[in-house]
């Protein structure tokens, strides 16, 4: 596998950043994840952190080096993440479980599969065209589906921030599966939180991603979303991957460099129930991790 990948996040106008993102890959399979901790509940950043840890641990166990059944893996990994969040509630005596939305994508053998719960989104782009995107689990989307409001009303609807599905709720989440599509060199897969897509028109977001490599365009997309929302800016997080050796891909990563049986990851995979809310990565640690990823990718591009 050869691909170009980049991730970025900004706090926006919020006091803390509850978004988390990351990816991991073996010689033959890639997993990408973005989670948006829900600020209306306790420790949303903990839920997002635990969700990524749990899903990455499943990938580490199952990708040998391929996933035998990517859709089944995605469903199992996200449900495992949900149960780990509930277990964290019990272990730490919390009055309610922290909650998070999540979107995940697996790529292997030139095909892509994805899954989500909530309103974190995936976009599949080819050139300057959106081939597919996930459908939000939200009150506004439900009203649109029922024909009760026009899609043009979504951005200003008073219940536009109401999410109907997530990990960490008292109910078993709906894991919406999609994909099993063939991807070509130059295709881009974007995973992002609502702090990105709700602030930027789709045409503007696609234009930015199509103009440059993901290494250059992802920070532009995140910054543009925060600037556009201004004083109301939410946490904004995006992770994008361009497949193959396309001229516009930028610095490439090659899975050939991953030792047989090993995994490369930007997600800390450890003992899930050992972490308390205070143990979750701080803002400075997140920024340091992003810088390290940028430097590693830059070194790869110079070889």
Q: What is the pLDDT of residues 258-272, one digit of tens each?
A: 998 899 999 977 655
The token pair at 4 is 């170009």
Least confident range of 101-110, 122-131, 148-157, 277-286: 277-286
pLDDT at 142: 77
pLDDT at 279: 46
The token pair at 99 is 């909650």
162 vs 125: CA distance, rounded Å: 27
73 vs 71: CA distance, rounded Å: 5
**Is CATH 3.40.50.12500 correct for 2-301?**
no
The token pair at 41 is 């509940």
Higher pLDDT, 159 or 94: 94
Average pLDDT on 56-78 reads 97
Q: What value does the mean pLDDT of the chain take?
A: 88
| CA 111 remoteness from chain centre | 18
pLDDT at 143: 79
Has residue 275 got a pLDDT over 60? Answer: no
Has residue 5 got a pLDDT over 90? Answer: yes
Has residue 113 got a pLDDT over 50? Answer: yes
pTM: 0.87
pLDDT at 274: 47
Average pLDDT on 64-74 reads 97
**Of 299, 288, 300, 286, the residue nearest 49 (C-alpha):** 286
Q: Are 50 and 81 in contact (CB under 8 A)?
A: yes
Beta strand 264-265 with 2-10 is: unpaired
pLDDT at 295: 59
């Amino acid at each position: 596998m050869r691909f170009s990948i980049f991730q970025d996040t900004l706090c926006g106008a919020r006091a803390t950043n509850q978004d988390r993102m990351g990816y991991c890959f073996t010689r033959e399979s890639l997993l990408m994840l973005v989670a948006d901790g829900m600020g209306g509940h306790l420790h949303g950043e903990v839920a997002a952190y635990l969700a990524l840890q749990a899903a990455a641990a499943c990938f580490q166990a199952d990708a040998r080096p391929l996933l035998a059944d990517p859709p089944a893996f995605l469903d199992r990994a996200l449900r495992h993440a949900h149960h780990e969040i509930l277990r964290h509630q019990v272990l730490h005596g919390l009055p309610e479980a922290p909650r998070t939305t999540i979107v995940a994508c697996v790529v292997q053998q030139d095909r892509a599969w994805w899954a989500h719960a909530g309103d974190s989104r995936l976009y599949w782009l080819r050139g300057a065209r959106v081939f597919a995107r996930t459908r939000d689990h939200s009150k506004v989307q439900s009203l649109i589906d029922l024909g009760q409001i026009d899609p043009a009303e979504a951005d200003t609807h008073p219940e536009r921030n109401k999410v109907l599905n997530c990990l960490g709720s008292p109910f078993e989440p709906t894991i919406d599966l999609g994909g099993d599509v063939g991807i070509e060199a130059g295709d881009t897969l974007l995973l992002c939180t609502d702090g990105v897509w709700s602030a930027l028109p789709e045409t503007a977001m696609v234009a930015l991603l199509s103009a440059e490599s993901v290494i250059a365009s992802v920070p532009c997309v995140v910054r543009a979303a925060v600037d556009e929302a201004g004083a109301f800016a939410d946490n904004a997080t995006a992770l994008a991957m361009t497949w193959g050796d396309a001229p516009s891909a930028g610095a490439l990563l090659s899975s050939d460099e991953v030792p047989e049986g090993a995994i490369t990851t930007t997600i800390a995979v450890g003992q899930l129930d050992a972490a308390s809310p205070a143990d979750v990565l701080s803002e400075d640690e997140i920024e340091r991790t992003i810088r390290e990823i940028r430097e590693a990718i830059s070194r790869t591009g110079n070889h």
